[in-house]
Amino acid sequence: MTDTQTQTKLKIFSGIQPTGRKTLGNYSGGFRQYAQTQEVGEGFFCIVDLHSITVDYDPDELRSSTLDLAAMLFATGLDPERSTIFCQSHVTAHAEAAWLLSSVTSYGQLGRMTQFKDKSENREFIAAGLFTYPVLMAGDILLYQTDVVPIGDDQRQHLELARDVAERFNYRFGETFRVPDGQYPEIGGRIMDLQEPTKKMSTTMSSEQGAVYVADTPDQIRKKFKSAVTDSEREIRYDPAAKAGVSNLLEIMSVATGETIDDLVARFDGSGYGDLKEAVGESVVALLTPIRERFEALRADERELQRLLAVGAEKARRAAEPTLELMYDRMGFVRPDAGRFFGAARPRGL
Ligand code: TYM
């Protein structure tokens, strides 16, 4: 590949938290899109461990769930040869960028983030980091001069904030960042809780029966779908605005099999809810079983996971450094090694 081709390659960045067990929602809005987008550009996929300390957590669990998530990213199709898979805390530019960007982030806008409001509700202690969380996320994205951010619907507001931060920085200090676009799945951008279909399926907020985990066994998956809440009408139809159980099941099946919603509605025309629930359960078993098997094999070799993460961190450091240097420079900081970055190493087009 020539230099110009490398320079024009689409830059893709996404992040995922290493807290708890990853759900079918994370698969639909996250993992699935990561594996697809790595095919069309240069992908950076980040285990955002620094984000995970903003709510109550257990240090030992963080250590082990970070490796779980690394194994899960590879098991769902990320290729370490092709993409950069790394831990946020291994690349110090992320924490530095967050501080610098906090000077161009609006306090009022941070207070309007629905995730902050949801996660801080009814808590005795609210960490300042929970409030500034979206600034760190903006830094994650902007450091890589990202074109596209594949995410689920629940991250839309954070992505809009990252765009505002980029624009404000560019306006205040001169053109520095590419303003990124979000990429949301057409179907499955917001998978709902199986027990409470008006709420999103969530690692932290869903009940055991309400969330399907990527590493669940076939029996667990079948049981969860069997007890999924459906609607009061008997007809199987798709109405996503109603946030109803049946529409959610249809979306899940479409994600699992790749069939369109229209085809599924036609197929289940005249069937009962029991048949639909069973079929959706089986389609998810077929989707997740090979992933769980790969996950278990990869998770067993921690040294290899650590090695792959070290390789990823090195690549990420190199990719992020020119933008961080440019930020410091534009903001008027005297650098210890002035001049080093001004030449070929500048980020694309700047
Ligand atoms: P996180 O870790 O909560 O979720 C990871 C990805 O999964 C998606 N997702 C869902 N998609 C569909 N239906 C659901 N029920 C569902 N639940 C979760 C999320 O939208 C996300 O794409 N703040 C981010 C992590 C982050 C990040 C970033 C993302 C930090 N820095 C930079 C992109 C770019 C988060 O907490 O995602």
Per the domain annotation, does 205 fall within a domain? no
Give the confidence band of 72 by pLDDT, cuts at 50, 70, 90: very high
Q: How far is the CA of 114 from the centre of ligand 1 (A)?
A: 14
* CATH code for the domain in which residue 271 is found: 1.10.240.10
* CATH code for the domain in which residue 25 is found: 3.40.50.620
pLDDT in tens, 275-299: 999 999 999 999 999 999 999 999 9
pLDDT in tens, 242-258: 778 999 999 999 999 99
In eight-state DSSP terms, residue 20 is S
Same-domain status, 48 and 156: yes
Number of domains in the chain: 2
Joined together, the tokens standing for residue 313 give 């961190």
Same-domain status, 10 and 129: yes
Same-domain status, 278 and 222: yes
163 lines ligand 1 (CB under 6 A): no
In eight-state DSSP terms, residue 105 is S
Q: Which atom of ligand 1 is nearest to the CA of 155?
A: 20
Measured by CA distance, the residue closest to atom 11 of ligand 1 is 29
Measured by CA distance, the residue closest to atom 19 of ligand 1 is 152
Q: How far is the CA of 139 from the centre of ligand 1 (A)?
A: 15
Distances (CA, A) of 273 to 164, 231, 235, 323: 45, 9, 8, 53
Tell me which of 14, 16, 196 to substitute to probe ligand 1's pocket, judged by most ligand atoms within 8 Å of the beta carbon.
Answer: 16
Residue 334 is predicted with a pLDDT of: 93
Same-domain status, 308 and 295: no
3-state secondary structure of 306: helix
Q: What is the rounded CA–CA span in Å between residue 347 and residue 97? A: 15
Q: Which atom of ligand 1 is nearest to the CA of 141?
A: 32
Q: What is the rounded CA–CA span in Å between residue 132 and residue 111? A: 9
Which residue range(s) make up the domain with 259?
A: 218-299
3-state secondary structure of 156: helix
Closest-CA residue to 41 (of 75, 76, 84, 103): 84
Measured by CA distance, the residue closest to atom 29 of ligand 1 is 15
Same-domain status, 242 and 165: no
For the cut 70, the answer to whether the pLDDT of residue 342 exceeds it is no
Same-domain status, 136 and 236: no
The separation between the first and the last C-alpha atoms of the chain, rounded to the nearest angstrom, is 22
Q: How far is the CA of 28 from the centre of ligand 1 (A)?
A: 10
> What global pTM score does this model have?
0.94
Per the domain annotation, does 197 fall within a domain? no
Q: What is the rounded CA–CA span in Å between residue 309 and residue 323? A: 22
Same-domain status, 66 and 133: yes
Closest-CA residue to 277 (of 250, 310, 309, 316): 250
Higher pLDDT, 287 or 123: 287
SS3 percent helix, strand, coil of the chain, rounded to 5, is 55, 5, 40
Residue 5 is predicted with a pLDDT of: 47
- According to DSSP H, which parts of 121-244 are helical? 128-142, 156-173, 218-226
Per the domain annotation, does 198 fall within a domain? no
15 lines ligand 1 (CB under 6 A): yes
Sign of the alpha-carbon dihedral angle for 247, 249, 254, 260 = negative
Average pLDDT estimate for 33-47: 97
Same-domain status, 16 and 164: yes
Residue 239 CB burial class (10 angstroms; 0-12, 13-18, ≥19): exposed
17 lines ligand 1 (CB under 6 A): yes
* Phi, psi dihedral angles at 122 (to 5 degrees): 55, 25
Per the domain annotation, does 209 fall within a domain? no
Same-domain status, 60 and 134: yes
308 lines ligand 1 (CB under 6 A): no
Residue 3 is predicted with a pLDDT of: 46
Give the confidence band of 320 by pLDDT, cuts at 50, 70, 90: very high
